[in-house]
Amino acid sequence: MGYVDEVIERVIAKNPGEPEFHQAVKEVLESLRPVVEANEALYRREALLERITEPDRQIKFRVPWVDDKGQVQVNTGYRVQFNNAIGPYKGGLRLHPSVNVGIIKFLGFEQIFKNSLTSLPIGGGKGGSDFDPKGKSDREVMAFCQSFMNELYKYIGADEDVPAGDIGTGAREIGYMFGQYKKIRGVYEGVLTGKGLSYGGSLARTEATGYGLLYLTEEMLKCNGKDIAGKTIAVSGAGNVAIYAIQKAQQLGGKPVTCSDSTGWIYDPEGIDVALLKEVKEVKRARLTEYAAARPSAVYHEGKGVWTVKCDIALPCATQNELDLDDAKALVANGCFAVAEGANMPTTLEATKYLQENKVLFAPGKAANAGGVATSALEMSQNSERLSWSFEEVDAKLKGIMVNIFHNLDDAAKKYGHEGDYVVGANIAGFEKVATAMLAQGVC
Ligand code: NDP
Ligand code: 2IT
């Protein structure tokens, strides 16, 4: 058995009951075969693949808090510090009832390669909790966030580990966590990103993941003789990534016609009204039924279904494994020619394979959604120099980073004989820098 297969088997045996982590490791390691085969003796001796698939540490803790009725609630908190070979651990905090250690590990593992692709000095980590912010009062969310930070503060710091937002964690949650960190440590430092603009946040961080997704998609299409203008776009999700992906897609002349949340989805053939979507989701924190109620052209459907809509480009921006083989078949049958992942690992391995076999341009999340963390790293730079840059300056840097990422993965795919396979390209380009740093730093 080859080294890659041995390590995949080992990871599955050592991490039982963590299917998302197994899936992420399989995707990355299988596409690293050409590099691993070229360096097998060295990598084996250095146990490089064993080391890169084992987190530096994983922290799990109790998060007790008091709800509005005076009842004590208990959640579980996690922080997985996966790899800091190229910089301090960096990655978001997910607050969602589905969170468990396997999900945080898959996200932390992906983050290593994503962060490397940004070309900025950030290592990989991820955290979160099974707390569900939905339906909670602001006071309850604050109580949770303070309790979460009462434990997490021990492990993070501006040069150590810098968490940020993810599903369920936005500006409100980051604000409460930052306040508690400052109170406990007595230090005012850039320990979290995605902060409010009045206390160290960066302009364009809110927009960055969605905008970055479209900048990379635009470059991928351009290099394949296509463009976004006039194209019909199916988007899933209705959160931070989806909203700003829709906004930038419209600015580039595309027509996003769908969005979704965990209860249903919208088909709006006139094109999604971003101002209304923001009002429903960012201000009212309401369901998409409110969007449909306020917009005559929109139809609301219960359950899942955005990938059944005829589109040219699909942008999954909700959650992992939301686009399966049947969805991929529907997209191909409807003439979709490009899929770019705004979410982390939204496409199953079978669906990815099917799309690529059917010549659909496929940009994997670790490249396509890297604009969020890249702009977080720009927020860290601004915090370190105690300055803040204009929206235009940050946005221009973000665009440069996304264009550069596309060319790095395109070049890596070509170099190893897999032209046009951007999954292979992204994994190899992300891995090479981390591997070089790990080898240079010795056994640690
Ligand atoms: P938000 O919490 O802002 O929005 C998430 C959206 O996805 C909501 O519309 C939510 O619906 C929907 N959703 C979440 N979980 C599920 C589920 N299990 N089934 C169906 N729908 C679901 O999160 P973000 O927009 O920040 O994150 C979306 C994706 O993008 C995630 O995969 C995240 O890891 C990834 N990402 C985020 C970055 C960022 O900067 N925020 C950066 C890079 C990647 P509902 O509200 O009903 O739950
Ligand atoms: O998945 C991700 O890259 C994020 N949730 C953003 C992480 C960050 O540190 O900004």
Nearest CA to ligand 1 atom 7: 318
Minimum-distance ligand to the CA of 93?
2
**pTM score:** 0.98
Query: In the sheet that 264-267 helps form, which strands lie side by side, from edge to edge?
Result: 258-260, 264-267, 299-302
Full 3-state SS string of 361-404: EEECHHHHCHHHHHHHHHHHHHHHCCCCCCHHHHHHHHHHHHHH
374 CA distance to ligand 2 centroid (A)? 8
pLDDT in tens, 47-87: 999 999 999 999 999 999 999 999 999 999 999 999 999 99
- Helices 422-440 & 391-415 angle (0-180, nearest 10): 100
- State pLDDT tens for residues 284-295: 999 999 999 999
Report the sign of the C-alpha dihedral through residues 307, 311, 314, 316, in that order. negative
Residue count of the chain: 444
Give the pLDDT of residue 372. Answer: 98
Q: Is residue 267 a contact partner of residue 258, using CB atoms and an 8 Å limit? A: yes
How is residue 281 annotated by DSSP? I
Strands 313-316 and 299-302: unpaired
95: enclosing H helix or E strand:
strand 89-95
Q: How confident is the model over 15-30, as a mean pLDDT?
A: 98
Q: What is the pLDDT of residue 229?
A: 98
Condensed to tens digits (0 to 9), the pLDDT of residues 309-348 reads 999 999 999 999 999 999 999 999 999 999 999 999 999 9
pLDDT at 91: 98
Model confidence at 110: pLDDT above 90? yes
> Is there an atom of ligand 2 within 6 Å of 123 CB?
no
What is the residue-averaged pLDDT of the chain?
Answer: 98
Q: How far apart are CA 434 and CA 413, in angstroms?
A: 17
> Is the beta carbon of 193 within 6 A of some atom in ligand 2?
yes
Average pLDDT over residues 168-188: 98
**Does ligand 2 have an atom closer than 6 angstroms to the CB of 344?**
yes
Closest Cα to atom 40 of ligand 1: 372
**pLDDT surpassing 90 at residue 231:** yes
Long-range contacts, 382-385 (Cβ 8 Å, 24+): 382/200, 382/202, 383/158, 383/189, 383/190, 383/200, 384/158, 384/190
Ligand that comes closest to the CA of residue 289:
1
Residue indicated by tokens 């707390």? 131
pLDDT beyond 90 at 108:
yes
Q: Determine the Cα angle at 414 with ends 83 and 336, to 5°.
A: 90
pLDDT-derived band at 235, boundaries 50, 70, 90: very high
pLDDT tens sequence across 346-372? 999 999 999 999 999 999 999 999 999
**Which of 265, 259, 330, 347 lies closest to 303 in space, CA to CA?**
265
- Determine the distance separating the centroid of ligand 1 and the alpha carbon of 37, expressed in angstroms: 36
Residue 218 Cα distances to 88, 126, 328, 374, 418, angstroms: 31, 28, 21, 18, 21
pLDDT value, residue 1: 83
Is residue 222 annotated as a catalytic residue, yes or no? no
Percent of the chain with pLDDT over 70: 100
Any residues with Cβ below 6 Å from ligand 1, and which? 165-168, 209, 237-242, 261-263, 317-319, 342-344, 369, 372
Q: How far is the CA of 168 from the centre of ligand 1 (A)?
A: 7
Q: What is the pLDDT of residues 422-431, one digit of tens each?
A: 999 999 999 9
Span 109-125, average pLDDT: 98
Rounded to 5 degrees, φ, ψ at 198 are -80, -5
Beta carbons within 8 Å of 159's beta carbon, 6+ residues apart: 88
Is the pLDDT at 276 greater than 90? The verdict is yes
